[in-house]
Amino acid sequence: MTPEEHAKRYGMRPSELRKLLKKGRVRGARFVAGDWAIPENAMIEYYTRQKMNRTIQDIVWDITRAANWSQYFDEEVLLANKLQFSTALGIAIDLKYITRSEVVNDGVTSSGYVVTGKGMTACEKRKKGIR
């Protein structure tokens, strides 16, 4: 799939997608023969702001936001170690913000989890400053 086809399918500007491609944030995309080749249904990696003293709660919110925006996430993308990631993932599941997807994690088109209605509501409230 070309960048233009991918951008059109997912409602993005081609220039915005090309910036993400250059940063390496489109899973599975390869630069071949002078242009980008993007797998069907490739996900964009969630962008984690680097900050000092990230807490488990920060990682829980990053997981929920990434699932809400249908973006790829794993411990490497979220800048967390395996213990932090698995703990935060367990909390997000216990809070019913996310649930396992029917599609397994393949590293390109799915992170293996989807947001729930409760997770969407929590993201909306957090965005508006309501806690």
pLDDT in tens, 35-81: 999 998 889 999 888 778 889 999 999 999 999 999 999 999 999 99
**Angle, to 10 degrees, between the axis of helix 56-68 and the axis of helix 117-127?**
110
pLDDT band of residue 131 (cuts 50, 70, 90) is very low
At residue 16, φ and ψ (nearest 5 deg) are -65, -40
Pick the CATH number of 56-127 from 1.10.10.10, 3.40.190.10, 3.30.300.210, 1.10.357.10: 1.10.10.10
- Residue 21, Cα to own-chain centre: how many angstroms? 15
pLDDT in tens, 77-107: 999 999 999 999 999 999 999 999 998 888 8
Q: Residue 99 forms beta bridges with which residues?
A: 114
Domain ranges of the chain: 3-37, 56-127
Is residue 130's pLDDT more than 90? no
- What's the DSSP call for residue 43? P
Residue 1 CB contacts under 8 Å (≥ 6 apart), including other chains:
9, 37, 38, 39, 40, 42
pLDDT band of residue 17 (cuts 50, 70, 90) is very high
